[in-house]
């Protein structure tokens, strides 16, 4: 995934997520986040839900951040860019397990 076929880590060593808004649902213990995900200098809006794990001494939550790699120009064996890939197709959706922890 580090290669130029995917995320070009040599040229784009960092990805970032900027939080725009959040909301908390006490009933489901879920925090909803909205923000901008930047990969390979391409930014797209994204939203995800996190499950609150604890609040003391720090807020901790876990989530799965899902995004479509083709929106960030990661084309290798993508059905959005190439036809008739058959069993060579690599799905465009990527899931990243994350753990959020606040700082003091």
pLDDT in tens, 50-76: 999 998 889 899 999 999 888 887 766
Task: Give the span between the Cα atoms of 37 and 45, in whole angstroms.
Answer: 6
Judged against a pLDDT cut of 70, whether residue 100 lies above it is answered with yes
Q: Is the pLDDT of residue 99 over 90?
A: yes
Question: How do residues 87-98 score in pLDDT, each as one tens digit?
Answer: 665 667 889 999
DSSP secondary structure letter of residue 83: S
4 has pLDDT over 70: no
Q: 23: which DSSP letter?
A: E
- Calpha distance 40→9 (Å, rounded): 9
Distance CA 96, CA 98 (A): 6
């Amino acid at each position: 995934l580090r290669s130029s076929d995917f995320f070009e880590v040599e040229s784009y060593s960092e990805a970032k997520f900027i939080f725009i808004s959040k909301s908390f649902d006490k009933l489901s213990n879920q925090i909803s986040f909205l923000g901008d995900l930047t990969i390979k200098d391409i930014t797209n809006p994204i939203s995800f839900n996190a499950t609150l794990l604890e609040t003391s001494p720090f807020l901790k939550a876990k989530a799965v951040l899902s995004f479509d790699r083709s929106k960030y120009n990661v084309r290798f064996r993508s059905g959005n860019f190439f036809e008739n890939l058959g069993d060579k197709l690599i799905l465009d959706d990527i899931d990243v397990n994350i753990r959020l922890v606040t700082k003091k």
